[in-house]
Amino acid sequence: MRQFRTLDDIDVEAKRVLIRLDLNVPMQDGRITDMTRVNRVVPTLTELLDKGAGVIVLSHFGRPEGQVVPSMSLQPVTAALSKALGRPVRFVDIDWAEPDAGTVSPGEVVLLENTRFHPGEETNDPDFAAAIAALGDIYVNDAFSAAHRAHASTVGVAQILPSAAGRAMQAELNALETALQAPKKPVLAIVGGAKISSKLDLIGNLSARVDGLIIGGGMANTFLAAQGFDIGKSLCEHDLLDTTRRMTAEAASHGCEIILPVDAVVATEFSAGVASRTVSLNDIGSGDMVLDIGPESVTDLNARLDNTATLVWNGPLGAFEIKPFDLGTNAVAQHAANLTRNGNLVSVAGGGDTVAALAHAGVVDDFTYVSTAGGAFLEWLEGKELPGVEMLRSGAERA
């Protein structure tokens, strides 16, 4: 059951709407190289404008740490946002916290300068939050990717103004709640990547919620080593072997199976054009590096997906950046995409490497939902409360 307010619950006609977006987009030579985050907020902005609101956009860019850093100005984003929206966007420079910055007419869009140029943003300074709130009548948060930060523009303003989730935030929360809070069973999770040490909380939380946990990437090497396999010179956190054994036992106590590769693609070094071969786990040589799952592992995982209702994916299954070590991730991703297209699987994925891997496999648009939120997506999967989301829930409770 939905526990946060959305645009359906607020009247924005002739109101000044402060909206928190994530316009922290990749830039090169002053040009945006990936418009995904910009495009995802267009539906919310369009709906607000069509309903007669004047919109004032808040966002951060980079990590200026409370200082004015010209190279981290949001001004270059203005033209791209205007083009995507199909309407003019007016930019307000560093003096945006002055009262005049809140002067906006119905149907008009104002983009304010980088909120992190102000030292009160990241400390959630109440005076700074009050200054922001004074610019608007209603607050909308459409930046799930910043919802794990208790900043003035994500939490402080929401404590002052009537608040609601934008459509992108709503879609993200609905997708994640569908995947983990009340999922169709059975549920599988794929957790890949280089190191277990960076995903201990994630594995711990998921193993208590899913029926099977597929471990891939360099992380799988540590689990395999803990089971006694010789993994050669593969990436491995040897100091965490006991930890992986405890995690496997704990998962079993929750009825969750830890699923590991049954074969591997190895090479003597990780570089383009290097000779590779497929081996059983017992035939990994002392000079080998495990860089991908093998075809038997692909067959095993795809068969498991055939009997799965919900999939949560974070992290690639191999070193997909260099061919041919992308084959395992590609094959499993494409199978999951086919199942999703046919209505047999709810698939939710997220995390920077995950999005890149799914894009490489050509299936981003075929999953039920792919999050670009990065840190916030991971913290949600880890079972942590996100301050920006909790403020929206609190607002719903007060309403």
Q: Which residues are catalytic?
A: 37, 195, 352, 375
Could you tell me the strand order of the sheet in which 263-267 lies?
A: 276-280, 263-267, 289-293
Contacts of 220-229 with C-beta under 8 Å, sequence gap 24+, read 220/192, 220/260, 220/261, 220/290, 220/293, 221/290, 222/196, 223/196, 223/248, 223/258, 223/260, 224/260, 224/261, 224/281, 224/290, 227/260, 229/281, 229/282, 229/284
Cα distance between residue 349 and residue 179, in whole Å: 10
Are 104 and 55 within 8 A, CB to CB?
yes
Cα distance between residue 161 and residue 157, in whole Å: 6
**Residue 202 corresponds to which tokens in the numbers above?**
């994630």
**Residue 352 corresponds to which tokens in the numbers above?**
């920077």
Q: Where are the alpha helices (DSSP H) in 86-151?
A: 126-133
Spatial CA neighbour of 386 closest among 373, 376, 395 = 376
Phi, psi of 125 (to 5 degrees): -65, 125
The Cα angle at residue 362 between residues 357 and 367, in degrees rounded to 5 = 85
**Residue 77 corresponds to which tokens in the numbers above?**
């984003």
Residue identified by tokens 């594995």 is 203
